Structure 1
Amino acid sequence: MPEFDENVWSHMHQAAYRGFIKSIHRFVEEDSSILESESNDEYKATPFLLAVESGTLETVECLLGLGSKIDAINSRNHGAVEICALRGYTSLLIYFVNKNDEKLPVWKRLIQYLASDMEADVIAAGKSLTQLTDASTQDYQDHRSQLIAKGAIPTTISFVGSSLTDQTKADGIKFLLNLLESEDVQETFVNASGAQAYIKLLKSTNETIIKLSAMVLEKLTANKNHADCVVRYTALPALYKVIQSIKTPDVLVPVLNVFSNVAIANTSHQKTIGTLPNFFENFVLIGKDNADGDMMKAYTEAVDNIVRDERNNQNAFIAAEGTEILMEALVRHSRNKDVQLSTVEAIHSLGENNPSAQETISNKGIQKLLMQMLRKSRADEIQEKTGMALWALAGNDIEKQRKMAEGIGVTSLIEFLNSKRENLHYISSEGLGVLAQGPISLHEEIASANGIQPLIRLLESDKDFYNIILSVIRTLRYLSVGVGNVPFTENQLSIDKCGGVEILIQLLLDGQDDLIKVEAAVTLAHVALGRENITSKINSHPDFSFIRILKMMYAKEDMVRLLAGSALATFAYNNVNQQKEISLQGGVRFNCFVPFLKSSDEFYRCNAAYQVVVLALIIPDEEQATSSAVGIKLLVELIQDSKSNQILALAADCIARLAHTRAGVPAAIVAINGIDFLFELLNSGTVPVEGCASIALSYLSYNHTGERRLLYKCRTDPYLKKILNRYTKDKHRLSEDFIEGWKHFKRVGIPPIPDDRIKKFEPADEIQLQLNAESPRGTTTGVESSSNHVEDVALSERSARSSLTPQRSTTTSSFQETQTSVPATRTHSSVSFNLSQQEMVLQEG
């Protein structure tokens, strides 16, 4: 019979609690029954339970080794598992878990403990389960699996509906959050109606419970299918009430993350968020004057996902003055990289594919802040995100893109080519391509900054960068030839020197698809334009043949056929030998162009019209004069009737190219009032249109009739002569006869230019670039002109271009009325063309 001290413990109980191992062994040797003796107090604890109570693993192992019962319980029905939970002995619990003794089912006991009606029991069980399933605990995955197998999920759902206090429930919910890391567990949880139970908790007045419930929903909605389920159970209105009533950042972070996940999961959910009553007005309020970094990161990420590609949401956020929040985030959190990046991405999504949003964002000064970030930062990730946002704000407006590229700068764009970020490569190529296009080209600056070599290096990459390769091919084209098919000799030679010709031939042969192949062919033709040595190099390549390009004239895709015609036209341009070679290798048929010539798409008509004029000599199934007349007539009609600045600039460029080809073509253009319509374009107020028209007029000034008409128009309106002067320098000079005639007019006297028009004509850098280019098909991608010096339709399919050009008069001038016409009709391939004086001029030419 053991003797008890004043604490009603025997010497054995004292030794077990205090960890006196030698004494324990001595006592057991004297009387083995003492192992299961109970204390003489209210707990009736065995030495083993007191050893557990002390938390000393060595003592516990000693007693179990001597034969103590592992499943012993005290008078309060607490065994080893419950005592460890109450005391927070996680390591001792892990010891019992690993012992895997069927007499002590640790997980079953802990789950039962969690389902208790006693606050202390639930808190203890919740804390222990949270620690055992935490990712920092060894074998946590195995712990989670065993708990799920023992029925932990139903318990975590049922106990939140009990009468327990919110704080007690909070510890249990933390344990659930660990389990929900697994998709299988999420599935089990949703199927057991767990989502509904936790959505109801959002109505709690306890912010901790709201926060934890939102964290549960956050984990669920990361899975698209579960996001649908959460929305179906009316989580969005409940979450919306939270952001209306609570301003605590710690609570709002998971709520905002749920909105983000739901918006990402389904576009219909994204729209639903935007239709919640006064959502954006209240949403903007929680972002104002918020200095919490985590909160603003979650907030800007939510903006990003809620407005992305959803125009109504974009407009509603802007209308609620949300742009001020984003601007404030950039300034206030300038030292927080995560907030900076998430805010930049939000700005990107807010402006993308939305011209009015782009305008508003730029007017608010955000664009300026982004430019400053781009210049100051040397981190690739920030440069990438910022560059993408800026490019998105430029939209598909070629002149906005040009301004954006000018703001970034040629040097920075070329530096982007040397980064490791693919998006920077794309932005760089697109930006350099824009700067190389049009009547005011920066091709010399790009070349002098060594921009050609890194572009060609991108073409050599073994990675599958389809859009980048396509963009680089086009940019090299823009760098090779300017408006009016004027070659940039130094750039052509640099491309060849850097191995560009060989790479382009290889892409023509083995490109990823027909579009890559035909684009490579068009660029090859431009690189060779006017360069006999490069032309010979291409023709002598064992695998190069015009047959490859001629076959693409019969491809399924319209754009491939159109660009194949562009490649052939550029190879044949003012080159009789190339024309003969194309003819010998099969030639091209007029039928190939008829669908484009009859198309309702002005872009197709314009390109095909130019091509049939250049290739007229080698089109065997139609007379040269007829082909030329058809093409010239269509081009002049386009500059007369089109309402698209892109088409006007393109048609004027085509006329500029044709105006210095074979004899008879300039006369035909002049004969049908081409000069009068080109002059109208000088008042367009857009640089590409004015510039291309001016260059076309400069070439037409070498035709005697054209020169006289040009003089007459300039004398009538001297302001137009100033516009001509702006663009007709260096390689696009007006004829000497015109210049002498103008000097004579000045001596005789010309009308003064009104003051208001003088003010409009400031130096070159002051003229506004206002072209709002329009995709000819609304959503066409990868489309461009045969010479590609004028705006090409953006590759991105995320938006369509729009045109804001003023209505133009289609009235025929009095000069046209003085021309006599000889009607004639030739029908070919189901298309009928009326031919007049222009055909006669061409025949005589």
Structure 2
Amino acid sequence: MAQEYNNEGRLPIHEASFRNYDVVVERILANLCSKDGNKDNDDDRLRADDENDERTDRLHQARIQEMLDATTYDYFRLTPILAATVGNARRTIECLINHGAKVTCRDGENRSMAAIAILKQNVELLLYFSQASYANELDIWNTLMTMFTSKNSDESTAAGRILEQLTSPKYIKLAWVYLMNLHPIERTFQVLIQTVNNTHHRNEQLLTSCLIILYNLLSIDTNIRIIFNQTDENARALVKMRKTNDILTLLFSQIVCEFCDDTRAIQAFVHHQLIGDIQVLLDNDTMNIPKTQACLYFDILGKIARCKQDFQILIQKSSATKRTILEQAIELLGTFDRRLTTSILHFIRELCLQNEHHQQICADNRQLIAHLLTALNSPYRDVQRSSVDTLQMFVTQSTTSQQTILDQGGAEQLLILLNKATLPKLRISIICTLWSLTLNEPPRRQSMAYSIGVMALVEFLNLKVSDQLYVVLDAISELLRRIPTEAENIPVIFGRRHCIPPIVRLLSADSEQRILFKCLFCIQQLCLLPTFRPCRANQTIFQKANGINQLLTLIRRSNKEKLLQAKAITTIAYAVFDHKENKDILTKETVRQLFKRIASLLNASEDIVQIEAGAGLVTFICNDEYHYNLYSEELSLDLEHFRPLLTSENIIIRCNAAFQMIIVIRLINETAAAEWIGRALLILFRVIGDPRIDDEDKLLPTDIIGRLAHIPTGFGIHKHSGICEAIIASDGLDHLISLLNSSNALLHGSAALTIDCLIRHSPEGQRRLLKQCRVEALCLDVLRTYVCGPSVLRTRIDELYSSIHNKQVQFPPIRPARQRRKLFDFIINPLKMSSNDRKALPKVRPSRWGHPLIFVAAAIGLAGSSAVFYAQIRARQKARNLFLQAAFYQEALELTHGYKPITDRLVEPIEPLQIDTTSKFNILSSLGAQVSSNLA
């Protein structure tokens, strides 16, 4: 029976082998030597005799070999070992091989055991063969690749399935050592191209296997991208393949997305119309596209757009469907899917990268802006950040885009998100976007910096990204421009929030030049407040952070950068201004070296370098007699240095040159000082009084006048007391008062500080100011905000404010009640006071200058024509009979208005300004009338 075929043409050994009955196979082979071939229990003696018989043994082996070589009488012509291979019968295969079965046998179609295992897609059996001792005889891997590239559909499909499994993470470690030398990537692309080009028979299964193999190999062999770029046919095959089901489409998207990391691959894909292909895929039932596929589409488009600006235009103008890709993307944003929203917004950012036209298209799309603003309220941080980054992309270069987003409330929503967000990356993205929305308009920059706040800005001073760091420093410098008040002093707040040490560290790092300039500017603002008022707390912090030494190192390091040197020297001058401990750090030799550098920079060809160097010089010497004398001994200046600067078209250069010349003019020419000071003041007031000049440009001259009024007097070049009186007597004060009505908060605040410095000790100036405040209440509100600290001016401002608003103010008595009443009676009507009462009043000690009223003119340098002045005095005496009581003038003035006696503040007058007699007469007449009205 063992040798009888059944109706299907198979022997029992074939059936047993196929079903993995290895014990049955053993018995079949063992019983081949028995007489009848089918008895199981023979006599032991007979069996022993047969085994000992050599002839019987050879016959037995021949019968076994004949059985092992026996084939089925069907189409397949299988031997027992081939049948076992078909049935995945590993034990039977080993049994047959042990009995001498040949592993090289083939079936009716000339297929080997390896080929049969491949056709059966039995990857486990194939790996089993590869580790067996007879693996070389089977030639497994060459057989696999031969079948994979075969034109026989069944063979290539089966081999593709095997390779698909072998390259998967489960088997790759075992199989890669065998596959790596067989060029699987090239073979796979070859099969892919053949399959795509075969229009008569579309083998989707083989196509799927090829895509899976490529996808698996992308993470295994880094050479796959190089091989892909060797010919355009590879890109063409991927683009032209039919995406008939979701699996093919998903695999296609993933593979193309990976290949698009390479520029050459992108160019090949674009050449073969990949953009239009994706547009068609997106247009087919847009809202029902699987989210993963849609994400991959937009990832691909984003990479293409980032590669080249021409590709951005191709994407936007692609006309494969009626709707543009951007319109399809905006429609898909309505799904509110987390990952899809992130992918689409990333694509839009790449589409608008450095493309103002596309930015404008997106910014004008109200539906897109609405989606972005909605995404700001998403519960997912990545969606929020992606929305912020997209908004930032719109407003980077397009002012129209900025205005569009502002009109739709984008800034307010970003500020709300900034207060809620906790992730640093999201917060800095919001800050950068908000700063881009300022449109570079100073008022908007100022309000935006204030809205962001000190804490949010200080938090990011340690950033490594230069663009973001520059935005933070720019916002800090803008916030530091705010005029300090009693309620809020921004520089002091920054100092307390540990802002200075990180900025100092940036000076020592290899930062970009724009970062260094911004750091130096911030340090100047932190150390010296408007009108040259030092912030000693910040100066001390800066010194303890080793800031001065860092600046000296920066100066030595930047020999070729003249502007940076000048800026650093000016920053040192700001840091040591009126600060004894900081000045002591600079040795005499160090100061001399700095002055020599300043002298060299003053001769530079660029105007901005000259002005910056001059700023450092005047800051050093305007408040320090030692530095002033040291500079006067070492170096000298020439008037010709200032002539071109004073006529510059740049307002900043012109005003700075005027200030510097006023400070150093006595070092140049003592005799012409008055004339040049007059010219400089005229330059400043022309800028302030010109309505055509923007308010932002008036900030500097206003602050310069405050500096001149704030600089102490008493030595060298600092004999400028007459400048304040000259400004008050002329229309300069009126120009400053008019600035109090400016809509620019910085300008009216700076004007208030300047006016405070200018008229703090001037009764006439205070009278004119308060007279104007009675007419314009807004001026009074500005003054109450910015005039800080106890002073006579602040007292009178509060008194006037209370009288206007019907509020009663109580002041402590400054004289006994009886004496105060007599003085007021005398001021109201001097004819009613008796001679005894007059004698009881205190008298003013006569001065070496004579009558106290002469000091008013002498203080402003206008007393050159004393005859005219006394003529005015006589006219006022006849009118009111008041000047006969000159001894009571100062006492009455002090009691009624709280002024200090003028004689206590007098210094030597400056030289008279060169004006004609008629103008001098008019000024003196006006001055006499104002003093008389005060006393009246």
Query: Conserved in 2, the CA contact under 8 Å of 1:698 and 1:734?
Result: no
2:789 to 727, 730, 733: 730
| Deviation per residue, 1:252-306 (Å, 9 max, x gap) | 1121112211221122322443445763761453333323322122112112222
**What is the CA–CA distance in structure 2 between the aligned matches of 1:565 and 1:483, rounded to whole Å?**
18
Matched, 1:697 2:735: no
Matched, 1:323 2:372: no
* C-alpha displacement of 1:326: 1.9
Query: Conserved in 2, the CA contact under 8 Å of 1:134 and 1:140?
Result: no
Residues 407-556 of structure 1 correspond to what in structure 2 (within 5 A)?
407-417=451-461, 429-440=473-484, 442-443=489-490, 446-447=493-494, 449-452=496-499, 454-455=501-502, 458-459=505-506, 470-510=517-557, 514=561, 517-539=565-587, 545-553=594-602
What's the secondary structure of 1:43's corresponding residue? coil
Query: Conserved in 2, the CA contact under 8 Å of 1:214 and 1:255?
Result: yes
Change (3 A) 1:632 1:113: same
The residue number in structure 1 matching 2:240 is: 200
Change (3 A) 1:168 1:714: same
Could you tell me which amino acid in structure 2 is paired with residue 196 of structure 1? R
**What is the CA–CA distance in structure 2 between the aligned matches of 1:711 and 1:838, rounded to whole Å?**
28
The residue number in structure 1 matching 2:191 is: 155
* C-alpha displacement of 1:350: 2.3
The residue number in structure 1 matching 2:293 is: 251
**What is the CA–CA distance in structure 2 between the aligned matches of 1:527 and 1:25, rounded to whole Å?**
105
The residue number in structure 2 matching 1:830 is: none
**What is the CA–CA distance in structure 1 between the aligned matches of 2:439 and 2:142, rounded to whole Å?**
59
Change (3 A) 1:154 1:281: closer
The residue number in structure 1 matching 2:685 is: 636
Residues 598-609 of structure 1 correspond to what in structure 2 (within 5 A)?
599-609=648-658
**What is the CA–CA distance in structure 2 between the aligned matches of 1:618 and 1:141, rounded to whole Å?**
86
Residues 215-614 of structure 1 correspond to what in structure 2 (within 5 A)?
215-245=254-284, 246-247=286-287, 248=289, 249-276=291-318, 279=324, 282-321=327-366, 322-332=368-378, 334-335=379-380, 337-394=381-438, 396-417=440-461, 429-440=473-484, 442-443=489-490, 446-447=493-494, 449-452=496-499, 454-455=501-502, 458-459=505-506, 470-510=517-557, 514=561, 517-539=565-587, 545-553=594-602, 561-586=610-635, 597=646, 599-614=648-663
Does 1 or 2 have the higher relative contact order (CA < 8 Å, sep 6+)? Answer: 1
**What is the CA–CA distance in structure 2 between the aligned matches of 1:98 and 1:596, rounded to whole Å?**
90
Query: Conserved in 1, the CA contact under 8 Å of 2:114 and 2:143?
Result: no
1:138 to 168, 173, 185: 173
What's the secondary structure of 2:312's corresponding residue? helix
Q: TM (normalized to structure 1)? A: 0.74
1:43 to 66, 73, 76: 76
What's the secondary structure of 2:173's corresponding residue? coil
**What is the CA–CA distance in structure 2 between the aligned matches of 1:139 and 1:618, rounded to whole Å?**
90
The residue number in structure 2 matching 1:173 is: 211
Change (3 A) 1:478 1:21: farther
Query: Conserved in 2, the CA contact under 8 Å of 1:107 and 1:147?
Result: no
Residues 77-88 of structure 1 correspond to what in structure 2 (within 5 A)?
78-79=111-112, 82-88=115-121
The residue number in structure 1 matching 2:744 is: 686
* C-alpha displacement of 1:185: 3.7
Matched, 1:129 2:163: yes
Unaligned runs of 5+ in 2: 31-59, 712-717, 806-911, 921-936
Matched, 1:648 2:695: no
Change (3 A) 1:197 1:629: farther
* C-alpha displacement of 1:717: 3.8
| Deviation per residue, 1:608-633 (Å, 9 max, x gap) | 44444444445689965576555544
Could you tell me which amino acid in structure 2 is paired with residue 573 of structure 1? C
Q: TM (normalized to structure 2)? A: 0.68
Residues 741-820 of structure 1 correspond to what in structure 2 (within 5 A)?
none
What's the secondary structure of 2:389's corresponding residue? helix
What's the secondary structure of 1:484's corresponding residue? coil
**What is the CA–CA distance in structure 2 between the aligned matches of 1:504 and 1:609, rounded to whole Å?**
27
Query: Conserved in 2, the CA contact under 8 Å of 1:384 and 1:424?
Result: yes
Change (3 A) 1:377 1:70: farther
Larger radius of gyration: 2
Query: Conserved in 2, the CA contact under 8 Å of 1:426 and 1:471?
Result: yes
**What is the CA–CA distance in structure 2 between the aligned matches of 1:632 and 1:64, rounded to whole Å?**
113
Equivalent residues, number: 748
Query: Conserved in 1, the CA contact under 8 Å of 2:530 and 2:750?
Result: yes
**What is the CA–CA distance in structure 2 between the aligned matches of 1:93 and 1:673, rounded to whole Å?**
103
Query: Conserved in 1, the CA contact under 8 Å of 2:784 and 2:797?
Result: no
What's the secondary structure of 1:396's corresponding residue? coil
Unaligned runs of 5+ in 1: 748-836
Percent identity, aligned pairs only, is 21
**What is the CA–CA distance in structure 1 between the aligned matches of 2:501 and 2:336, rounded to whole Å?**
42
| Deviation per residue, 1:310-335 (Å, 9 max, x gap) | 22222211222212212333434x13
Query: Conserved in 2, the CA contact under 8 Å of 1:417 and 1:424?
Result: no
Query: Conserved in 2, the CA contact under 8 Å of 1:588 and 1:620?
Result: no
* C-alpha displacement of 1:340: 3.3
What's the secondary structure of 1:219's corresponding residue? helix
RMSD: 4.7
What's the secondary structure of 1:331's corresponding residue? coil
| Deviation per residue, 1:495-532 (Å, 9 max, x gap) | 22333333333333336973655443332222212213
The residue number in structure 2 matching 1:777 is: none
* C-alpha displacement of 1:345: 2.0
* C-alpha displacement of 1:108: 7.1
**What is the CA–CA distance in structure 2 between the aligned matches of 1:93 and 1:556, rounded to whole Å?**
82
Change (3 A) 1:737 1:309: same
What's the secondary structure of 1:635's corresponding residue? helix
Stretch of structure 1 that moved more, 254-263 or 411-420 = 411-420
**What is the CA–CA distance in structure 1 between the aligned matches of 2:418 and 2:198, rounded to whole Å?**
55
Change (3 A) 1:161 1:674: farther
The residue number in structure 1 matching 2:20 is: 18
**What is the CA–CA distance in structure 2 between the aligned matches of 1:123 and 1:379, rounded to whole Å?**
51
What's the secondary structure of 2:586's corresponding residue? helix
| Deviation per residue, 1:747-770 (Å, 9 max, x gap) | 9xxxxxxxxxxxxxxxxxxxxxxx
Could you tell me which amino acid in structure 2 is paired with residue 650 of structure 1? L
Could you tell me which amino acid in structure 2 is paired with residue 174 of structure 1? I
**What is the CA–CA distance in structure 1 between the aligned matches of 2:431 and 2:421, rounded to whole Å?**
11
